[in-house]
Amino acid sequence: MSVDPILFLAILPEIGLVILGGLVLLLDLVLKQPAQRWLGWVTAIGLWVILAVHLVFGAPHPGLTEVWGGMLRWDWMAYVFQGIFLLGASLTALFGMDWDVLGQRGEFYLLALAATMGMCLMAASADLVMLFLAIETTSIPLYALSGFLVRDYKSTESGFKYMLYGATTSAVMLYGFSLIYGFTGTTRIYGVAEIFQEMFTRQGSAAVYALLGIMLLVLVGVSFKASAAPFHFWAPDVYEGAPTPVAGFLSTASKAAGFAVLMRFVIAVLPPTVMGDASSLVGRAGPYMTAVLALIATLSMIIGNVLALTQKNIKRLLAYSSIAQAGYILIGVTAGSSLGQAGAIFYLGAYLVTNLAAFGIVSIVGRVVCSDEISAYAGLSRRSPGLALGLLAAFLSLGGIPPFGGFVGKVLVFAAAIDARLYWLAILGIINSVVGLYYYLTVLKTVYLYRSQEEDSPLRLTRPWVIALAACVVGILLTGTFFGPLYQWSQAAAAALFSF
């Protein structure tokens, strides 16, 4: 069997990640203990190289969408998301480098690379089997990473909890996949809708109920990855216990991967519609899909924001905030339009740099002051004005304030909701934004207003932290001001979702 060499361009990130992983594994054997920190540089720079190669050569070719025997799709959706994952992984490697235990172990980098490869496949999968394999390839390394600090019972608990939750929800989702195969006889995601439509014309509403049931099962697994309510319970405990750089990775790249699958699957199989004609399956079942997604979005926003209000630990606060953010992103998905998906993708991109900056700063401060309590942030603006400004940018971006990326993301998803005439969802979204702003500002108040005894001892930043943080802040500002390029990518990715 001969393979067109151009098809290798479709899996450039995966190939690069395998090579880089092998390199890290080899160096891990060669290098002695203190020098293993250098693996962080190797990983980060390697990921940048892969990212650059991917951006230059990986752009999809028109007419070559289904590749590798229909297992993967090579479209803008995969292209954009793979870029997001690679960026997130490289920044995570930099944040993790000087986190002792974590940064000096080659396993950390290797597991992160493996998870990233899984995510790249998740974004591209066009086949149920491939999709499930990709999800597990992502999840298993992440379970291990969460429980990385074996001597710390919280970390162990975190890894264990994440695994139990993940295994259960994957099993439910797998049940949904098997039902799809049972009903349709195909594992191609893009073939499902057509077969169900035929079933609908033959058997009527039975097909509607079958499809909705399947969608609910699949949504369980995907909501878990996206940490959306009511499958969010793991997030606070896991984020709290996991090493902070890992928690940052979980809340950004892993969440984005969950959303990539959610958007691709939902749009391909049963797109949410507000008012449909009753003669087609999508017209009949689409409004239910809208209702379910809107419900998940609403629950996520409310639960995340309300529970975040009372948190004393900043990692738990960020965990609840990330549940709420999943809710805002879901507003865009729920709108069902191309604008909505583009808004959600843009939001995910802006959210990646934003939340990585937030978790990055938390990991830096946590290393130095040995506490993740919000009260430990008192006097930070006197100790380290730069770090305080970074936190300011990240939290205000989470709160949806310009000139930071979160503002544009929020405007886009609310606009999509209004365009789809989901006014109530947009209004819920703005009320939640106000609640969210409250707790983000409370943290900033601690940073700028309160004083502490150690405020005169400056916080020392290492080089990888400075680089990663600077990259994040620049990203937050770029997505908030010169948002044209990211929006065009999001737009192209959203268009790819609808063309099949």
Partner 1 sequence: MAFPILSVIVLTPLVAGLIILLIPRERKTEVRVTALAAAILSLVLSIWVYFAYQVSAGGYQFIEKADWLPFLGISYHMGVDGISVPLVLLTGIVVVAGVLISWGVEDRPREYYAFMMFLATSIFGVFVSLDLFQLFFFFEIAVFPKYLMIAVWGSPQTREYGAMKLTLYLFLGSVIALIGVLAMYFASGLRTFDMIALEKANFAPGFQYIWFPAVFFGFAILGGIFPFHSWAPDGHVAAPTAISMLLAGVEMKVGAFGALRAAIMLLPQGAHDWVWLILLLGTINVVYGAFIAMIQTDFKYVIGFSSVSHMGLVMMGFATLSREGFLGAGMQMFSHGVMTALFFAVVGMVYDRAHTREISRLGGLFRKMPWAAIGFIIAGFVSMGMPGFSGFVAEFPVFMGVWRSQPPIYAIIAVLGILLTAAYILRVVSRVFFGDAPVELAGVSDVTVLDKVAVSGLATIMIVLGLFPILMTPMVQSGVDHIVYLLGVIK
CA atoms of 473 and 488, how far apart (whole Å): 21
The minimum distance between CB 413 and partner 1, in angstroms, equals: 11
Report the 3 state secondary structure along 190-221.
HHHHHHHHHHHHHHCHHHHHHHHHHHHHHHHH
Contacts to partner 1 from residues 351-390, by CB under 8 A: 381-382, 385, 389
Backbone angles phi, psi at 232, to 5 degrees: -105, -5
8 Å CB contact between 312 and 442: no
Residue 493 and residue 80 in contact, taking contact as beta carbons nearer than 8 Å: yes
Residues 219-278 that bind partner 1 (CB under 8 A): none
Residues 325, 398: Cα–Cα separation, whole Å: 8
Segment contacting partner 1 by CB under 8 A, of 110-118, 127-135, 352-360, 400-408: 400-408
The separation between CA 67 and the C-alpha centre of its own chain, rounded to angstroms, equals 25
Closest to partner 1 by CB, 427 vs 474, is 427
Is the N-terminal amide bond of 236 cis, ω within 30° of 0?
no
Burial class (CB in 10 A: 0-12, 13-18, 19+), 154: middle
- DSSP-derived letter for residue 254 is I
Instruction: Output 285 or 413, the one with its CB closest to partner 1.
Output: 413
| Of 330, 475, 337, 474, residue with least CA distance to 410 | 330
Instruction: Please state the closest distance from residue 382 (CB atom) to partner 1, in A.
Output: 7
Tell the smallest beta-carbon distance from residue 474 to partner 1 (Å): 13
Give whichever of 13 and 390 is closer to partner 1, judged by the CB atom.
Answer: 390
Q: With both helix axes pointing from N to C terminus, report the angle between 38-57 and 463-481 in degrees, rounded to the nearest 10.
A: 30
Does position 76 interact with partner 1 (CB under 8 A)? The reply is: no
Which stretches of 309-445 are assigned E, i.e. beta strand?
none
Q: Which stretch binds partner 1 (CB under 8 A): 29-37, 297-305, 368-376, 408-416?
A: 408-416
Task: Pick out residues in 471-490 that bind partner 1 (CB under 8 A).
Answer: 483-484, 487-488
Kindly tell me which of 180 and 339 has the beta carbon lying closer to partner 1.
339
Q: Which stretch binds partner 1 (CB under 8 A): 121-129, 130-138, 268-276, 407-415?
A: 407-415
**Closest by CA position to 305, among listed 424, 237, 398:** 398
Q: Is 441 in the site for partner 1 (CB under 8 A)?
A: yes
Query: Residue 337: helix, strand or coil by DSSP?
Result: coil
Q: Does 452 bind partner 1 (CB under 8 A)?
A: no
Q: Which of 448, 461, 462, 495 binds partner 1 (CB under 8 A)?
A: 448
Instruction: At 284, list the tokens.
Output: 């009949």
Give residues 410-439 in contact with partner 1 (rule: CB under 8 A).
Answer: 411, 414-415, 418-419, 423, 426-427, 430-431, 433-434, 437-438
CB 74 within 8 A of CB 64: yes
C-beta separation of 58 from 1 below 8 A: no
Q: Find the Cα–Cα–Cα–Cα dihedral 485, 490, 492, 495, rounded to 10°.
A: -160
| Nearest-approach distance from CB 479 to partner 1, in angstroms | 12
Choose, by CB under 8 A, the member of 396, 443, 468, 497 that binds partner 1. Answer: 396
Residues in binding contact with partner 1, number by CB under 8 A: 37
Nearer to partner 1, 168 or 488 (CB): 488
Residue closer to partner 1, measured from CB, 259 or 407: 407
Q: Does 444 bind partner 1 (CB under 8 A)?
A: yes
Contacts 24+ apart (CB under 8 A), 26-30: 27/106, 28/106, 28/107, 28/110
Using the minimum distance from each CB to partner 1, give the nearer residue, 288 or 487: 487
449 scored as a contact of partner 1 (CB under 8 A): yes
Identity of the residue, 292 or 494, whose beta carbon is nearer to partner 1 in the bound complex: 494
Minimum distance between the CB of residue 451 and partner 1, rounded to whole angstroms? 11
The CA distance from 242 to 316, in Å, is 11
Question: Could you tell me if 344 and 333 are in contact, meaning their C-beta atoms sit under 8 angstroms apart?
Answer: yes
Residue 175 to residue 491: CA distance in whole angstroms: 33
335 lies in the binding site for partner 1 (CB under 8 A): no
Name the one range near partner 1 by CB under 8 A: 173-181, 203-211, 245-253, 403-411. 403-411
Asked whether position 401 contacts partner 1 by CB under 8 A, the answer is yes
Stretch of 124-132, 207-215, 318-326, 398-406 contacting partner 1, by CB under 8 A: 398-406
Tell me which residues touch partner 1 (CB under 8 A): 381-382, 385, 389, 392, 396, 399-403, 407, 411, 414-415, 418-419, 423, 426-427, 430-431, 433-434, 437-438, 441-442, 444-445, 448-449, 483-484, 487-488, 491
